[in-house]
Amino acid sequence: VESIGPGVIRCKAAVAWEFNQPLVIEEVEVAPPQEKEIRIKIVATGVCQSDLYFLSKCSNQTAFPVVFGHEAAGVVESIGPGVTEFQPGDTVIPLFMPQCRECRLCKSPKTNLCVNGCPLRSFERSRISCKGRKLLQFLGTSSFSEFTVVKEMSAAKIDPAAPLDRVCLIGCAICTGYGAAVNTAKVEAGSSCAVFGLGAVGLAAVMGCKAAGASRIIAVDINPDKFEKAKVLGATDVVNPNDHSRPIQQLLQEMTGGGVDFSFECIGNVEVMRSALESCAPGWGVSVIAGWTDMENFSAPPIHLMTGRKWTGTLFGGEKWISASEPAMVRAYLDRKLMVDEFITHNLRLEQINEAVELMKNGRCIRAVLSVSPQ
């Protein structure tokens, strides 16, 4: 890391130059923060399935070159003009779901959306460049870089005692899954739940169902290696659809006397979305889509909804973080009321990013955490 001009930092980043190609560790230039922006030294970042999706599956293959990464934690290095809620040295989690606190969405307690939400920064507004070219900042974050610049409203201050190589996971996967159960579905005590897909988001949904008091939590995945972890986090039953000849929704209906009260699709597969809906009990069953895809549309017979099932979705688990206040999930982890360490299966360096990508693609990893910069 070195300073090469008025406020410009030269550092390392993993750059995706082309769609579905290996990431390349490059020296990049990170410009100083502008009005209402902060520059963050990224200490640790998780490698999320969403990063892999936009790298190798997304229908939009033109958003390159780009620096991926959005599940991170770090330290504020400098602040731009007009910043009032952060100082250099503050420990933060970047947010891909910002809160401007002024728009109609932010002012509503019904949603965590914001009109500024989930930005894929334009090349012109990016603060990261390499070899004379601007690099897109994925979701306005770009944590696969030693330094990044985000809007003031796109970060949350956390307790400096929090281990950044752990709480970085709260910045996406754990909030998404846990919140899908607690905030979006509002799982009830004594209820039955089914979670489809046991990646980090699905396992967090299992944990959220348990925290909400569900009496039966059925974890569904075609990779049986994930079943023990699911049990640790609260699953009461585990099911591999490949072990059964009948459709998974029929099996779950039989197991629960007519269908579960709540189901969660945590993969991003439209066929599984329908299976999750059809596994719900008629009359009151709620199915939540937490897995991302833009490749296909989902469909289901209208009678499934006319008979009382509800089909909904979630982004970031409905968590509504405000930059000036510590997220409750971080405090819960520090108070030992939330499991996080259990999700981490691999600890690697930024230079090993492609190894992490392959581990995720092959289903051999729940979450890899990359060490990016020393704290």
| Cross-strand bridge partners of residue 237 | 218
pLDDT tens by residue, 237-256: 999 999 999 999 999 999 99
pLDDT-derived band of residue 328, with 50, 70 and 90 as boundaries?
confident
Residue 5, pLDDT score: 56
| pTM for this prediction | 0.93
Which among 72, 42, 66 has a CA at the least distance from the CA of 54? 66
Whole-number Å distance between alpha carbons of 126 and 40: 14
Whether the bond between 163 and the residue before it is cis, its omega within 30 degrees of 0, is no
Asked whether the beta carbons of 14 and 145 are under 8 A apart, the reply is: yes
pLDDT-derived band of residue 56, with 50, 70 and 90 as boundaries?
confident
Q: Looking at this protein, which amino acid is placed at residue 229?
A: K
pLDDT-derived band of residue 4, with 50, 70 and 90 as boundaries?
low
pLDDT of 26 higher than 70: yes
pLDDT of 3 higher than 70: no
User: Residue 271: is it exposed, middle or buried by C-beta count within 10 angstroms (0-12/13-18/19+)?
Assistant: exposed
Q: Which CATH fold would you assign to the domain 174-317? A: Rossmann fold (3.40.50)
pLDDT of 305 higher than 90: yes
Residue 93, pLDDT score: 96
Every domain range in the chain assigned CATH 3.40.50.720: 174-317
